[in-house]
Structure 1
Amino acid sequence: MDEEGGAPRLNRYQLQSIEKSLFELTRKQKSQAVPVDLPVPAFWSSVGQLLHHLEMELAETIRDEGMSAKAQLKSRRLGIIRTCVSDLTRLRLNAFTQHAVLSNLLKSPQGDAMSVSASFQSLDWERHDPSERAYHSGVGHLVEKYKHEVSWNALLRGSTIEIPGAPEISGHAPLTEFTEQDEKVSAPTPAAVRTPQSGNWEDPEFDEEDRIRQMDGFPDRATGAAPAAPVGEAPAEEESGLRRILILQDLSEPIIAEDGSEITLTAGDVESCPTPIADNLIAAGLAEPAPL
């Protein structure tokens, strides 16, 4: 065993195998988020023997040959291996730290390790260095201390204070509690339904005096007397119930026809209106016949 302990003294061929394993392990660890298994149990002790062996060879070469090309080549080889050791150490410590933090945060509040997600990869400590396991355990203790200081469980699951539920809202008592059983509650009678006013035109009743009075109010207008149709020939307009008239004055309000439609009359328009409406407009001096 060497002074640093952990691994037996290795020969030249075993040291070359450790050197190859060092580069291979660094390449694998760069692409993995979890720590990669070590190729030998006492890997870091073996790497220490490799570096010590290379330093001894370099010192002997410089003592015998000076800083020759061979010495420079060995010095460069030693520097590359040390750089690889530094990179591998950084990658593995990051992986162990991440694994320790995640495995601790995924535990239940009681610390039950069985509550960790099944998809989370556990570590086989037989394939890792004891110093790495001690580092992993130390990170776990620091995480536990942090969780205790910030009240981690209370932040995630809340305090133990019970929140009272919403009070039940009871409805009003039925009306039967305030009335006698033999009494009948009279229902209010619905209000009388108003019948909508009919939209049909109602012919105003005009007597002869009203007609003469309206004609006196417009002496300059035509009397509205339509020429009598020949006996035996009924106009086509009267057969259809319409009469063609010429509007002489604008009407401020539309006229409602028998079918309920509104007719807006403007001075100068020629309209075919129902005969009663046409007669009234002619009698009022607002229109005059306009036969074809």
Structure 2
Amino acid sequence: MANSTMLTEFLLMGFAEGWKLRFLYSMLFVFMYLATLLGNLLIVTVTTADQNLHTPMYFFLRNLSILDMCYISVTVPTACVNSLTGHRAISVAGCATQIFLVIFCAFVAILFLMVMAWDRCVAICQPLHYSTIINLQLCVHLTLASLLSGLVYAGVHTGDMFVLNFCGSNIVPQFFCDIPSLLMLSCSDTSSNEHFLLISAVLVCGGRFSFIAMSYVRIFSTVLRFPTQEQGKAFSTCVPHILVLTVFLSSISYVYLRPSVTSEGTQDIGPSVFYTIVPPFLNSIIYSLRNKQVKDAVRKVILRRVYSGTK
């Protein structure tokens, strides 16, 4: 890496130009960060403590919660500190690490969401065969396959990025290091990188979204045959998931599929927030505050602790 770049560090942009706006945005993102950590820690704790939630669905939900905490921790704490203190520098190695972790977490999160949609599809459309199709061993294998493929995918994209030369401006027009922003700064020919990024993004985002969409189409077509009361419960659960997934994938597609142009300003910060901060935050709300089984499990855990404490 040292031989492939003439720069030793990059300078990240803040959330805004003025101090008041930077402080406001930083406090907002700190609140979302802490809420995300709290919600996902609650999910991990409850799904581990309650034996009734030791099912494939909550196995993947627990893994998604852990991943979401890691995902939002890669960008938000550093960005808020940088924005508040004015210390914008990040080393080349730090920048590469951030790119690797962002891509890894986003890729694996999409795979987890895809597997969770398939799990719900089997549970609703083939309930009699659910236990024979989906079991703990399969869940572990799917999780390991997702993590390993994420490592490979992130490693390939990060390595492909840092064989380029950076010999001009070192100001990254983003609050964290990402590939589209760094492509603008490279003085090498980036056409092959852009084509590779385009193809892989279309395959990952488009392919996964198509699979998830087909799963939910099957779910909805089955749910429409249920009694009206059960239909309402199913739709109230599935629709928020679809909305979060749509925001997640559409913002990623906008950032990564848009042609790289040399521009200054903060036009990419908004869409980047919608795929790095908003999905983990909304997932923690949807799967904790809006999930009846999780809320019931929380009450059981609290009552159990209170009862044991009064003895």
TM-score band w.r.t. shorter chain = under 0.3
Higher helix share: 2
Q: Which has the larger radius of gyration?
A: 1
Higher relative contact order (CA 8 A, sep 6+): 2
TM-score (norm 1): 0.26
